[in-house]
Structure 1
Amino acid sequence: MTVISPPLPRAAVPVRSGAEPSGRATIGLLGPLRLHCGGAEIALPAAKHRALLALLAINANRPVQVDRIIAELWQGHEPESARKTLQGYVWRLRGLLGRQAVRTVGSGYELLTEAGAVDATRFEALAAAGRAALRTGEAGEAARLLRGALELWRGPALADVALGPCVFAYVSRLEEARMMAAEGLVDAELALGRHAEVLPGLRELVAEHPLRERLRAQLMLALLRGGRQTEALAAYGELRERLIQDQGLDPGLAVTELHRRILAGDAALHLG
């Protein structure tokens, strides 16, 4: 199994593969910000240039008002020359992407992109298709799509961009979507009987997110199907202890019911 490591624009995106489109420019948000034009990577060393591109990219094909851009870039500390300075940043982006790529719309700017030019858009489309396949019992197809979605990630989203409040909220949603895709891939792999293959990556995920109950339940199920019932029960006990200690809460109903079924020796938990 591929190692799982975690976690919009409106254009429709094909979901057959995670490959970049062949268009003039592509923008990578799933890791450090990346801009490719004509196959070559373009450096954006200025912090506010990167922040502007990120904000326009997450709103691709939708105008963003100048006041909102200024609030994001300067976060309440804008100079008197902010509007003029912003015009210079936009002029720089137009020089890189083409004048028609960043257009003025009323009192704002809009980044025009081709379908799939932003990697986060492709991730969202692949992840949604993977979840749909999982719901209809197509575990193999779900695994393929979700693996393709996760392989688009190069690290924490926009890792080298100073995040304003709107971009920060967007990144938080993306990272949660990444985790959900990772959990969906584990579900698909377990449905395919690959509990042994999924176990190492799943242990790593649980170690990184010890209070995430869905991951813990998946770990318990993988251990059980590998003949490690004692370890599966111990994984629940560790979760319960951590939750009580950190949050004063007991585990939720789903993972508690799985624990009960393991104790009862429920044969339906095994494949075959």
Structure 2
Amino acid sequence: MTVLSDLPAPAATAAGPAGPEQHRTTRLGLLGPLRLCRQGTEIAVPAPKHRALLALLAINANRPVQVDRIIGELWQDREPKTARKTLQGYVWRLRTLLGPGALHTTGNGYELRAAADAIDAVRFGMLAERGRAELLAGRPEQAARLLRPALGLWRGPALADVPVAPGAYAYASRLEEERLTATEWLIEAELALGRHAEAVPVLRELVVGQPLREGLRAQLMLALFRSGRQAEALAEYGELRALLREEQGLDPGRAVSELQARILAGDAGLENG
């Protein structure tokens, strides 16, 4: 399954104001190492604390983030006495990098204002949800056309070069789960389109990284069965069951167990979903 990397930016939505005209060409990347681009030029953010602050503000784009929360995220339990003054210096530096009008002081906090299509994580979520809606409506081709570019936005683990902080860690973990879920949606669409053989190597690689994820394992079993590889499909179930029993003392869930039974019986109904 080819993953497309070029994404036509969708129109801004209620997720945030478009901001000044010059910021329509400012983009932030969270789906991988932190990335800041202005007018097509990537702007380096070399200092770890600057990256951590920019990430926190981007995660909460178009919402004020209180100074106390920022300090807690940046320094956690090692807050220096000069934290507030140091933070002001960080904010000044980010304003320089972002350009005028992007970073606002709001009461006792700061707010990064950005259009909905300016942050890759937001674009990913918008496209993925539209793809899911098409899948649920029985339109797998349209779903795949949305889910491929959504997943193509990823450049590596979310916030890969941002120092670990509670808020950023939780957000990155949620994004990674959404990435896996969107991947399952795309594979479901590909299987519905009859691309079983192409899906097998992709699914094998995914299962190596997520050996206990039953949804991926079930998709691999189905893709193998539809490719005429019934024995391999059953072997995948056996491996899943052994791993679950060893690590969690559990058996596979009902859905994947029923799939195993249908594959074992050579159920022709699985050929066409």
TM-score (structure 2 length as normaliser): 0.92
Superposed CA offset, 1:82-111 (max 9, x none) = 001001111111112223211011111000
- Alpha-carbon distance in 1 for matches of 2:243, 2:33: 33
Of stretches 262-271 and 29-38 in structure 1, the one that deviates more from structure 2 is 262-271
SS in 2 for 1:36: strand
- Alpha-carbon distance in 1 for matches of 2:14, 2:32: 20
- Alpha-carbon distance in 1 for matches of 2:185, 2:14: 20
- Alpha-carbon distance in 2 for matches of 1:66, 1:31: 26
SS in 1 for 2:118: coil
Show the 5 A alignment for 1:31-50. Answer: 31-50=32-51
- Identify the residue that residue 98 of structure 1 maps to in structure 2: 99
Structure 1 residue 197 displacement after superposition: 1.1
Structure 1 residue 3 displacement after superposition: 5.7
- Alpha-carbon distance in 2 for matches of 1:81, 1:214: 49
Structure 1 residue 206 displacement after superposition: 0.8
Superposed CA offset, 1:183-223 (max 9, x none) = 11110000000001111111110111111000000000000
- Identify the residue that residue 80 of structure 1 maps to in structure 2: 81
- Identify the residue that residue 164 of structure 1 maps to in structure 2: 165
Structure 1 residue 24 displacement after superposition: 3.0
Which of structure 1's runs of 4+ aligned residues deviate more than 3 A?
Answer: none
Instruction: Say whether the 8 Å CA contact 1:29–1:54 is kept in structure 2.
Output: yes
Superposed CA offset, 1:201-253 (max 9, x none) = 11110111111000000000000000111111111001000100111110001
- Identify the residue that residue 2 of structure 1 maps to in structure 2: 2
Structure 1 residue 139 displacement after superposition: 0.2
User: Counterpart amino acid of 1:208?
Assistant: G
Superposed CA offset, 1:137-176 (max 9, x none) = 1100111111110000000011000021011100000000
- Alpha-carbon distance in 2 for matches of 1:26, 1:97: 10
Show the 5 A alignment for 1:131-150. Answer: 131-150=132-151
Structure 1 residue 264 displacement after superposition: 2.0
- Identify the residue that residue 26 of structure 2 maps to in structure 1: 25
Instruction: Say whether the 8 Å CA contact 1:3–1:201 is kept in structure 2.
Output: no
CA spacing shift, 1:156–1:89, aligned 2, 3 Å: same
- Identify the residue that residue 120 of structure 2 maps to in structure 1: 119
User: Counterpart amino acid of 2:212?
Assistant: L
TM-score (structure 1 length as normaliser): 0.92
- Identify the residue that residue 56 of structure 1 maps to in structure 2: 57
Q: How many residues align?
A: 260
SS in 2 for 1:110: strand
Instruction: Say whether the 8 Å CA contact 1:13–1:121 is kept in structure 2.
Output: no
User: Counterpart amino acid of 1:65?
Assistant: Q
- Identify the residue that residue 19 of structure 1 maps to in structure 2: none
Instruction: Say whether the 8 Å CA contact 1:57–1:111 is kept in structure 2.
Output: yes
| Residue 261 (1) aligns with residue 262 (2) | yes
- Alpha-carbon distance in 1 for matches of 2:120, 2:14: 10
- Alpha-carbon distance in 2 for matches of 1:170, 1:71: 16
Show the 5 A alignment for 1:241-256. Answer: 241-256=242-257
User: Counterpart amino acid of 2:2?
Assistant: T
Structure 1 residue 13 displacement after superposition: 8.0
- Alpha-carbon distance in 1 for matches of 2:125, 2:37: 20
Gaps spanning 5+ residues in structure 1: where? 5-10, 15-21
Superposed CA offset, 1:5-62 (max 9, x none) = xxxxxx6289xxxxxxx82310000000000112111111110000000000011111
- Alpha-carbon distance in 2 for matches of 1:236, 1:48: 46
